[in-house]
Amino acid sequence: MDPLALTLIELGAVVFCLGLLARLAGRTGMSPIPLYLVGGLFFGAGGMVKLEGMHEFAHLSSEIGVILLLLMLGLEYTAAELVTGLRRSWQAGVLDLLLNFLPGAGLALLLGWGFVGAMVMGGVTYISSSGIAAKVITDLGRIGNRETPVILSILVFEDLAMAVYLPILTATLAGVSFLVGLQTVGISLAVVTLVLLVALRHGHHVSKAVHSENSEVFLLNLLGAALLVAGLAAAMQVSAAVGAFMLGIAISGATAHNATRILEPLRDLFAAIFFVVFGLNTDPTSIPPVLGWALVLAVLTAATKMVTGIWAAKRAGIAVPGRFRAGAALIARGEFSIVIAGLAVASGAVPHDLAALATAYVLIMAIMGPLAARFVEPIVGMLRRPARRAPLPFRPAG
């Protein structure tokens, strides 16, 4: 067959299947990410169908997917929100980091994956999926709840932590010497601070540079700027993803909201391809051996996120049911865990089992997270007052 025809047919079939999976996810109210991963496992290396024709396109698309995911993560919060979030919830953020980074890192060391593996797995278990958390909060009608700002400020802290973590990860993966690594991390920390300062004081200039009333011009400006910045960052040995993320932070105000709206469909497409490609490159037969460890890690890190949420909500003066709701909303891991694992796998510096473990782990957590958030309330309610069913009659005060 003509190679172009083969590529188009394969790509069309894959995207069409993704559409079916996304529809299934929508029907059942779950995140599409685990389904995309399973879809990817089904095709590709060791799977049932081999896809050769679309390899090049899929590879580039998944890179763009990562850039768009991080650009939109940066767009999600304004620089002012990041700074206030950092000031107000750094204690909860640090507890979150310690409790959830250590289990992943510890298991990696236990499995003999060394320091690099520990850095990667720690990141995979640390970062909650802000996408899944936001969807769960919205779907369950909890935006007006008192614990919601607590959850959001932890997500904001994680967002900032990513800005520091990703350059460190990239340096570690590149296997540079300690001094060079320190230099890279120093440069990226300086860049993060600079970008935050610029975004706070002069964010409107950056916004003005890309903004346009014409949505076509705006889209092209945004995408062009994102790819340029990402490419330059990659050339400077800071990861491309970090560059896109920084650009996202620097764009502020109304421009950021419009950018989110305009980029969403593109992000959905390329991110879906990224998840599939990650699944494609993972051999499904490598998953069963690590499934036990994935389950252990899932239970452990669900508990640690729970503790984080409960502690943070308690500090904010929230009653017991709300504390559990806050904990459960944080459990889901998703897109960014896969981004971290994807960066690691692409560098070739980690054993192949890591990809399998990360895949199995995210599959479990992306499904378990929303379920936990939904059912934590009735469970806590049942445990707290087992006998009384009927609500108390409403008595107006005074």
Closest approach of other proteins to the CB of residue 234, in Å: 27
* Window contacting other proteins (CB under 8 A); options: 115-123, 142-150, 222-230, 282-290: 142-150
**Which one among 182, 257, 289, 299 touches other proteins, defined by CB under 8 A?**
257
Q: Kindly tell me which of 386 and 391 has the beta carbon lying closer to other proteins.
A: 391
Closest approach of other proteins to the CB of residue 375, in Å: 15
Closest approach of other proteins to the CB of residue 343, in Å: 24
Please report whether residue 142 would count as binding other proteins according to CB under 8 A.
Answer: yes
User: Who's near 282: CB < 8 A, 6+ residues apart?
Assistant: 40, 41, 44, 45, 355, 356, 359
Count CA atoms closer than 13 A to 3's CA, side-chain side.
6
Closest approach of other proteins to the CB of residue 349, in Å: 33
Q: Using CA of residue 247, residue 249, residue 255, residue 257, what is the dihedral sign?
A: positive
**Which one among 34, 322, 342, 369 touches other proteins, defined by CB under 8 A?**
322
Cα dihedral 65, 193, 182, 169 in deg (nearest 10): -20
Please report whether residue 84 would count as binding other proteins according to CB under 8 A.
Answer: yes
Closest approach of other proteins to the CB of residue 68, in Å: 17
**Which one among 15, 17, 81, 293 touches other proteins, defined by CB under 8 A?**
81
In DSSP notation, 266-325 reads HHHHHHHHHHHHHHHTS-GGGHHHHHHHHHHHHHHHHHHHHHHHHHHHHHTT--HHHHHH
* Window contacting other proteins (CB under 8 A); options: 118-126, 134-142, 212-220, 345-353: 134-142
**Which one among 197, 209, 319, 383 touches other proteins, defined by CB under 8 A?**
319
Nearest Cα to Cα of residue 283 among 54, 60, 43: 43
3-class DSSP assignment, residue 133: helix
**Which one among 39, 47, 85, 203 touches other proteins, defined by CB under 8 A?**
85
3-class DSSP assignment, residue 334: coil
> Quick one: DSSP state of residue 348?
T
In DSSP notation, 171-230 reads HHHTT--HHHHHHHHHHHHHHHHHHHHHHHHHHHHHHHHH--SSHHHHHHHHHHHHHHHH
Please give the residues from 143 up to 172 whose contact with other proteins meets the rule CB under 8 A. 143-149, 152-153, 155-156
Q: Residues in contact with other proteins, total (CB under 8 A)? A: 34
* Window contacting other proteins (CB under 8 A); options: 75-83, 244-252, 304-312, 332-340: 75-83
* Window contacting other proteins (CB under 8 A); options: 52-60, 77-85, 224-232, 282-290: 77-85
Total Cβ atoms within 10 A of residue 395: 5
Q: Can you read off the two tokens belonging to residue 374?
A: 């939904």
Q: Kindly tell me which of 153 and 239 has the beta carbon lying closer to other proteins.
A: 153
The three-state DSSP-derived secondary structure of 209-220 is HHCCCCHHHHHH
Nearest Cα to Cα of residue 245 among 103, 120, 71, 363: 71
Q: Kindly tell me which of 112 and 141 has the beta carbon lying closer to other proteins.
A: 141
Closest approach of other proteins to the CB of residue 361, in Å: 25
Closest approach of other proteins to the CB of residue 105, in Å: 27
- x/- track of binding to other proteins for residues 343-382 (CB under 8 A): ----------------------------------x-----
Binding site for other proteins (CB under 8 A): 76-77, 81, 84-85, 130, 134, 141-149, 152-153, 155-156, 257, 318-319, 321-322, 325, 377, 391-392, 394-398
